Every structure is written in C-alpha cells, then in structure tokens.
Amino acid sequence: MTDYETLLVDHSDNVLTITLNRPDKLNALTHKMGAEIKGLLKKAGRDDSIRAVLMTGAGRGFCAGQDLSDMSVFEPGTSLRSHLQQGYNPMISAMRALEKPIITAINGVAVGAGLGLALAGDIRYAAENAVFRIGFIGIGLMPDSGVSFFLPRLIGPARAAAMTFTNDEVSATQAEQWGLINQVCPPDDLLPAARELAVRLAGGPTKAIGLSKRALNRAQLIDIDTALEYEAQLQDIAGRTGDFREGVLAFIEKRAPQYTGS
Ligand code: LHQ
C-alpha cells in the first residue's frame, strides 16, 4: 500500500489497520497526520474489500493529542475554531459516518484529541498500561474532537465532569469499569485480540453492521418513537441485501453463513 509519512498502514483479511506512527512524540497529532487519517477513512468508505478498521499507536503511546510543538496553532490571531473545522472535526465525523466497524486498540496514553480518536471508534480495547486523560484543561482549553459528546454518554455526566475539570488520569481498569472501553488486555495480547475481533467483524454482514452503526449514532440524539421509525427505515435497506438472504438460508440449511458484504 502507499507510503504514509505519519502512519503505518496494512490492508489484509478485509481489515484496514492504521497505526499512528510518531512514537517519539507519543503519536501527537499533526496537520499531516490528520490529513492522512481522513484520506484513509475516505478510502475505507469506498473500498468494498475493507470491511473493518483497526486503529492503534506505535510505541508506548496511543495518541498525546495535538502536537504542542507545532506553534502555528498558537500564533496570535489563529482561530482554533477554523483549526478544528478543517482538522479534527472532519476526522471525527468521518469515523462516526463510516458505515463499517472501527476498533481502537489503545496501547498507551490517550489524551486530548487523542482521547477523541479513541472514543470515536465503535469498540475499544485497551492495554493494562493504557491511561486516559482529558488533557485539554491541562493547557487551558475545553474538550474538542467530540470528547464533550462521547464522554458523558459513555461514563455519565458526573464522571465526565470530574475527568474534564481535574485532568486526573484514569487507568485502563477504571475505564473498563466505567464503560469507557470494552475490554482490558495484557499488553502483548492487545493487538492479537483487537485484530481477532476486527477480522471476525470483517466477515460479518457488512451492510447490516453499517446500518446498525447508523441507527446507534442517531439513537444518541432522538426520542424512542423517532428511533423506532428510523430503525424500520434502515431495516428495510438491510432486508434487501444478499447477506440477509444468506443469513436466513444458512440458518434454514443449518450451516455457517458466508457473508460477502453485498
Ligand atoms: C509531545 C506531546 C504533545 C508534542 C508528548 N505534543 N510532543 C489542542 C490545541 C489547539 C487546538 C485544538 O485542539 C487541541 C486538542 C488537544 O489535543 S489538547 C491536549 C494536547 N495534549 C496534551 O496536553 C498532552 C501533552 N503531553 C503530556 O501531558 C505528557 O506527555 C503525557 C501525559 C501525554 C505523557 O507523559 P510521559 O509519559 O511522562 O511522557 P513525556 O511527557 O516524557 O513525553 C514523551 C515525549 O513525547 C516528549 O518528548 P521528548 O523529546 O522530551 O522525549 C514529549 O515532549 C513528547 N510529547 N505529548 N502533545
């Protein structure tokens, strides 16, 4: 696959693996890294042979958020609003809009916009040594990159407020108890476990998984009646896929389904 300046990329077994690759900076985000991630997410949306995405970090960090040594962001007159509108917002939106499962394998510290990246995935596995920290308040900012949206929904408003205001570190074990992540793994087991799940999901009924993601996204924002109607509309689409027919046929024929993503 094409070379990337800030990422390692692998495409095999219908899984696109994106590894943030600035380990000496704990994979802090630069403009280039954001652009490369967005480009890959676009490709993942168009390429039928990509049926799940796995995102992780090289070295001992997952992602330390905005690269604070990039002074262009802090020059007087720089609008952080346009920095976010052009940089992180489309990246986080693209992760939520991609109708394929995204697993984040959090191998170390996840801070600031790096926490946003971790939370924008659908399913999160973390190494025992991973830690979560808001970061923003530590440099006099408030949460961006979707963190103010994801955090209270995942762990509740009180815990979200404490994390956001104090900048205290949250361990992987605590994060699992709170529902911030799905599973804690010994460090050496993290990638194999996350990859096993990604490969398993990549072999699933991709369209139905994508529509499920669309419904789960929408359910965060709407009332039950609207949610029921929205589910009915999306199920109509799922009901017209080849994978649905295959799923029912396999059940009747008492065999494992062979999903193709069609
Ligand atoms: C870094 C970084 C980093 C550059 C570690 N940048 N080099 C922000 C601004 C503007 C607009 C919009 O949005 C945002 C969003 C955000 O992301 S705000 C949050 C920004 N991130 C942070 O505030 C985190 C800063 N980093 C830290 O607090 C610590 O490095 C953590 C707690 C992540 C890890 O601590 P340690 O494990 O003790 O590692 P370390 O501090 O020694 O870092 C290792 C190296 O990585 C070190 O470089 P060096 O050359 O000295 O070995 C750090 O300078 C570098 N690094 N984070 N964000």
pLDDT tens-place values along the chain, 262 residues long = 568 999 999 999 999 999 999 999 999 999 999 999 999 999 999 999 999 999 999 999 999 999 999 877 777 777 888 889 899 999 999 999 999 999 999 999 999 999 999 999 999 999 999 999 999 999 889 999 999 999 999 999 999 999 999 999 999 999 999 999 999 999 999 999 999 999 999 999 999 999 999 999 999 988 878 877 888 788 888 888 899 889 889 888 989 999 999 9
Q: Is 233 exposed, middle or buried (0-12, 13-18, 19+ CB in 10 A)?
A: exposed
Going from the Cα of 70 to the center of ligand 1, the distance in angstroms, rounded, reads: 11
Q: Is 200 within the bounds of a domain?
A: no
- DSSP, residue by residue, 124-181: EEEETT-EEE--GGGGT----TTHHHHHHHHH-HHHHHHHHHH---EEHHHHHHHTSS
Compute how many other C-beta atoms are within 10 angstroms of the C-beta atom of residue 152: 16
Question: Does the Cβ of 130 fall within 6 Å of ligand 1?
Answer: no
Going from the Cα of 3 to the center of ligand 1, the distance in angstroms, rounded, reads: 25
Q: Is 199 within the bounds of a domain?
A: no
Residue 177: which domain range?
1-187+205-262
Q: Is 54 within the bounds of a domain?
A: yes
Which residues are CB-contacts of 178 (< 8 A; sequence separation ≥ 6)? 154, 155, 156, 159, 170
Going from the Cα of 81 to the center of ligand 1, the distance in angstroms, rounded, reads: 21
Domain count, the chain: 1
Q: Is 176 within the bounds of a domain?
A: yes
In this structure, what token pair is assigned to residue 234? 């999306």
pLDDT of residue 210: 98
Q: Is 194 within the bounds of a domain?
A: no
Question: Does the Cβ of 26 fall within 6 Å of ligand 1?
Answer: yes
Going from the Cα of 120 to the center of ligand 1, the distance in angstroms, rounded, reads: 20
With vertex at residue 242, the alpha carbon angle to CA 236 and CA 243, rounded to the nearest 5 degrees, is 90
9 and 16 Cβ atoms separated by less than 8 Å: yes
Q: Is 195 within the bounds of a domain?
A: no
CA distances 124 to 84, 114, 119, 236, Å, are: 24, 13, 8, 29
Q: Which atom of ligand 1 is nearest to the CA of 114?
A: 17
Question: Does the Cβ of 66 fall within 6 Å of ligand 1?
Answer: yes
Compute how many other C-beta atoms are within 10 angstroms of the C-beta atom of residue 72: 8
Going from the Cα of 156 to the center of ligand 1, the distance in angstroms, rounded, reads: 26
Q: State the Cα–Cα distance between residues 80 and 5, nearest whole angstrom.
A: 24
pLDDT of residue 226: 82
Nearest C-alpha neighbor of 85 from the set 131, 22, 139, 34 = 34
pTM of the model: 0.94
Question: Does the Cβ of 143 fall within 6 Å of ligand 1?
Answer: no
CATH number of 237's domain: 3.90.226.10
pLDDT of residue 182: 98
Q: Which atom of ligand 1 is nearest to the CA of 109?
A: 33
Question: Which of 25, 106, 171 has most ligand 1 atoms within 8 Å of CB, for mutation?
Answer: 25
Question: Does the Cβ of 146 fall within 6 Å of ligand 1?
Answer: no
Q: Which atom of ligand 1 is nearest to the CA of 66?
A: 17
Q: Is 119 within the bounds of a domain?
A: yes
Q: Is 95 within the bounds of a domain?
A: yes
Q: State the Cα–Cα distance between residues 211 and 230, nearest whole angstrom.
A: 11
